[in-house]
């Protein structure tokens, strides 16, 4: 058992022990921090991420070895200053990159993010994803330090550019071939129409009707494929205007009435809004295209002597258009892929002609219009 002669002696022992514990704790925390930093450095190096650390007052920038080796330089070959980066940005990208950086430094954006090209030591350019953030401010809240990373995205950008060029070539080909096809179809359709006016023999008329209907079907398929291609490439142009929804629906019914009369289908509109002028701001040709698709499907898959009932209601902010018919319906399996391109219900595909693009295009149009939602139920 230890004997201490004074209280101060005991206090000294306690203080020494506390200092020893604190010192050991500091060393332990320092080891953890250094270990974490080494681990982070290993991860960043493995990912080949270039790191930059920018001191705004002096415009000095600390670049790590991965940042410099990304563009072919050794550590001592480039000065650690902002101009090093500024001088290697591609001329076509520089203005926009600087605007993005300036907005972040001014506090207008949470992060700085830019995709641009920088010049390699060998003279070619590589694409980088450059991201960063201001991390320190002075007492007047002026930014004093920002840090970030460079990531080489050349392979991705090259692939994107090749894809864009391939799509452009495909679009040009589709436009050219469709133009030629339509010229050929018109040279068939117009003479057939004239022949139908001069022929009274029922068998001959049936043959001409078959030619006429087939040509029209092919023309419709070409238009659908062109539309589908445009929508896939996000090239739909919208022309918004004030229109009367009732006028659009009436125009579509008038257009499709001969088709409905061939099957003796009764089409009617029920307007429960108490207003004959249903004003909306929309692209009238696009929404008309949607109605044509939905109502023509209701005719095509309907029974003889069937009906199509279009019911219009309104809540506080929205119009709701319900298109009902007593057609053949669809299987539950097909309902899950109803809006997928080139999908047709195998139960009915042999009985009814089509290409499986119409509803897919209608869905794409609705997605662009955003103010409209498209739903269905059996």
Q: Which range is least confidently modeled, 97-101, 190-194, 228-232?
A: 228-232
Query: The domain spanning residue 262 has which CATH number?
Result: 3.30.565.10
Q: H helices within the chain, ranges in order?
A: 7-46, 65-69, 82-86, 91-105, 154-198, 202-232, 245-262, 284-300, 332-335, 358-369
Residue 164 sits in the same domain as residue 268: no
Maximum distance among all Cα pairs of the chain, rounded to whole angstroms? 135
CATH of the domain at 139: 3.30.450.20
**Residues 16-30: pLDDT tens digits?**
555 545 445 455 665
**What was the pLDDT predicted at 14?**
42
Residue 50: exposed, middle, or buried by beta-carbon count in 10 A (0-12, 13-18, 19+)?
buried
Number of domains forming the structure of the chain? 4
Section 264-285 average pLDDT: 85
Same domain, 4 and 131: no
Nearest CA-CA partner of 358 in 288, 292, 307: 292
Q: In what order do the strands lie in the sheet with 266-271?
A: 266-271, 307-314, 319-325
Rounded Cα distance between 95 and 93, Å, is: 6
Same domain, 265 and 318: yes
pLDDT at 287 exceeding the cut of 80:
yes
Of 235, 255, 290, the residue at which a domain comes to its end is 235
> Rounded CA gap, 87 and 70, in Å?
16
The answer to whether residues 195 and 306 belong to one domain is: no
Same-domain pairing of 261 and 362: yes
Tokens matching residue 45: 């190096």
- Full domain range(s) for residue 25: 1-46
Residues 133 and 165 in one domain: no
pLDDT band at 5 (very low <50, low <70, confident <90, very high): very low
pLDDT tens digit string along 94-125? Answer: 999 999 999 999 999 999 999 999 999 999 99
Residues 40 and 132 placed together within one structural domain of the fold: no
The whole-number average pLDDT for the span 124-143 is: 95
Q: Is residue 57 located within the same domain as residue 130?
A: yes
Domain boundary among 219, 235, 251: 235
> 79-93, 224-238, 288-302: lowest mean pLDDT where?
224-238
pLDDT (average), residues 325-351: 69
Give yes or no: residues 364 and 267 share one domain.
Answer: yes
- Domain C-terminal end among 152, 173, 207: 152
Same domain, 242 and 377: yes
- Examine the domain organization and report whether 145 and 15 are in the same domain: no
Q: Give the model's pLDDT for residue 330.
A: 75
308 with 202, same domain: the answer is no
């Amino acid at each position: 058992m230890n004997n201490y002669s004074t209280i101060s002696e005991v206090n000294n022992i306690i203080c020494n022990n506390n200092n020893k514990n604190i010192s050991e704790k500091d060393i332990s925390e320092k080891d953890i921090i250094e270990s974490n930093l080494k681990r982070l450095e290993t991860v960043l190096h493995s990912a080949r991420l270039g790191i930059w650390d920018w001191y705004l007052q002096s415009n000095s920038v600390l670049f790590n070895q991965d940042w410099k080796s990304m563009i072919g330089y050794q550590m001592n070959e480039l000065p650690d200053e902002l101009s090093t980066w500024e001088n290697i940005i591609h001329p076509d990208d520089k203005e926009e990159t600087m605007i993005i950086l300036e907005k972040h430094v001014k506090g207008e954006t949470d992060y700085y993010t830019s995709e641009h090209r920088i010049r390699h030591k060998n003279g070619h350019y590589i694409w980088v994803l450059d991201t960063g953030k201001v991390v320190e401010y002075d007492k007047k809240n002026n930014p004093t330090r920002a840090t970030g990373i460079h990531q080489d995205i050349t392979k991705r950008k090259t692939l994107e550019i090749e894809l864009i060029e391939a799509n452009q070539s495909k679009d040009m080909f589709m436009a050219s071939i469709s133009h030629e096809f339509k010229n050929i179809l018109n040279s068939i359709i117009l003479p057939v129409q004239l022949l139908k006016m001069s022929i009274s023999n029922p068998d001959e008329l049936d043959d001409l009707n078959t030619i006429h209907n087939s040509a029209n079907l092919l023309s419709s398929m070409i238009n659908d494929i062109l539309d589908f291609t445009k929508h896939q490439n996000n090239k739909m142009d919208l022309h918004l205007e004030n229109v009367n929804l009732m006028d659009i629906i009436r125009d579509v019914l008038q257009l499709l009435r001969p088709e409905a009369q061939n099957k003796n289908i009764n089409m009617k509109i029920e307007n429960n809004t108490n207003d004959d002028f249903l004003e909306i701001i929309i692209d009238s040709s696009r929404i008309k295209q949607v109605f044509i698709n939905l109502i023509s499907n209701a005719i095509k898959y309907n029974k003889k002597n069937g009906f199509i009932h279009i019911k219009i209601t309104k809540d506080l902010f929205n119009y709701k258009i319900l298109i009902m018919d007593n057609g053949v319906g669809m299987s539950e399996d097909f309902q899950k892929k109803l809006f997928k391109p080139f999908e047709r219900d195998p139960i009915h595909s042999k009985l009814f002609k089509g290409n499986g693009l119409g509803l897919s295009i209608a869905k794409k149009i609705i997605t662009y219009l955003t103010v409209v939602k498209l739903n269905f139920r059996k």
